């Protein structure tokens, strides 16, 4: 397995404010897999993503990515893991407002020794004609494409997506999902996608459902629906 999580526990606060968010999560994701993590608000799905991404520390358990235990990484080692292995895509694009599309992407390009080809990536994501625009001149979908390009330029082995279509309309959501599908096929990028949207689960290889900090169900899709054919986005 490319990602292996074993008996992962995570809590916040103490005393009356103590909340146990993850209550012993164990799962595995094979390399090249597109995986959806579903659950209601507060179920722990984003916390799980953040623990895998090294954005949150864990209380106990194990998180192994590409054979490396990351739960104990600190400082430079943790920074190296995020820089070398991960790409992040969030619901809110977090673009630098005074940088152009191309410059926003270059910020991450400079972080890696083996970046993807900038021109090819701009073309793949439909950003070539927008590369010299600033974020305020872009639609929501174009901003999300820029955020995706920024994450992908590093050529990450693992792409973590937290509600990547949450702020988009149905047509733009479909376009973004088609792009993620194409990226997975083209580059073999392993993807973990946290989403409230129930339709997205039909396009991926694996589905993990979380309820009250535990996995209530996980399964592989025997038949996948292409992103272009998803309904009720």
Contact 172, 207 (CB under 8 A): no
Can you give the C-alpha Rg of the chain in angstroms? 17
Number of Cβ atoms within 10 Å of the Cβ of 132? 10
pLDDT at 25: 97
Helix (H, G, I), strand (E, B) or coil at 160: strand
pLDDT at 125: 86
pLDDT at 45: 94
pLDDT at 220: 97
Could you give the CA distance from residue 36 to residue 197 in angstroms, rounded to a whole number? 10
**All domains of the chain, ordered by start, with CATH?**
3-229 (3.40.50.300)
- Tens of pLDDT, residue by residue, the chain (233 residues): 999 999 999 999 988 889 999 999 999 999 999 999 999 988 999 999 999 999 999 999 999 999 999 988 999 999 999 988 899 998 888 899 999 999 999 999 988 888 989 998 999 888 999 999 999 999 998 998 999 999 989 889 999 999 988 888 888 889 889 989 998 998 899 999 999 889 999 999 999 999 999 999 999 999 999 999 998 87
pLDDT at 233: 79
In what helix (H) or strand (E) does residue 174 lie, and over which residues does it extend?
A: helix 170-187
pLDDT at 142: 93
pLDDT at 111: 84
């Amino acid at each position: 397995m490319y990602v292996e999580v074993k008996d992962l526990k995570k809590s916040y606060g103490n005393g009356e404010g103590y909340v146990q968010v993850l209550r012993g999560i164990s799962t595995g994701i094979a390399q090249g897999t597109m995986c959806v993590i579903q659950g209601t608000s507060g179920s722990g799905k984003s916390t799980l993503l953040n623990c895998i991404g090294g954005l949150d520390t864990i209380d106990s358990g194990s998180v192994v990515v590409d054979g490396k235990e990351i739960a104990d990484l600190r400082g430079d080692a943790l920074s190296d893991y995020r820089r070398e292995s991960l790409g992040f895509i969030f619901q809110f694009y977090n673009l630098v407002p005074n940088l152009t599309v191309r410059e926003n992407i270059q910020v991450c390009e400079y972080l890696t020794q083996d970046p993807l080809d900038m021109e090819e990536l701009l073309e793949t994501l439909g950003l070539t004609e927008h590369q010299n625009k600033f974020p305020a001149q872009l639609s929501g979908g174009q901003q999300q494409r820029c955020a995706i390009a920024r994450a992908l330029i590093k050529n990450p082995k693992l792409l973590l997506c937290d509600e990547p279509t949450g702020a988009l309309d149905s047509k733009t959501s479909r376009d973004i999902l088609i792009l993620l599908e194409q990226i997975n096929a083209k580059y073999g990028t392993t993807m973990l996608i946290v989403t409230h949207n129930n339709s997205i689960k039909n396009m991926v290889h694996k589905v993990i459902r979380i309820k009250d900090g535990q996995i209530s169900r996980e399964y592989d899709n025997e038949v996948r629906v292409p992103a272009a054919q998803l309904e009720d986005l």
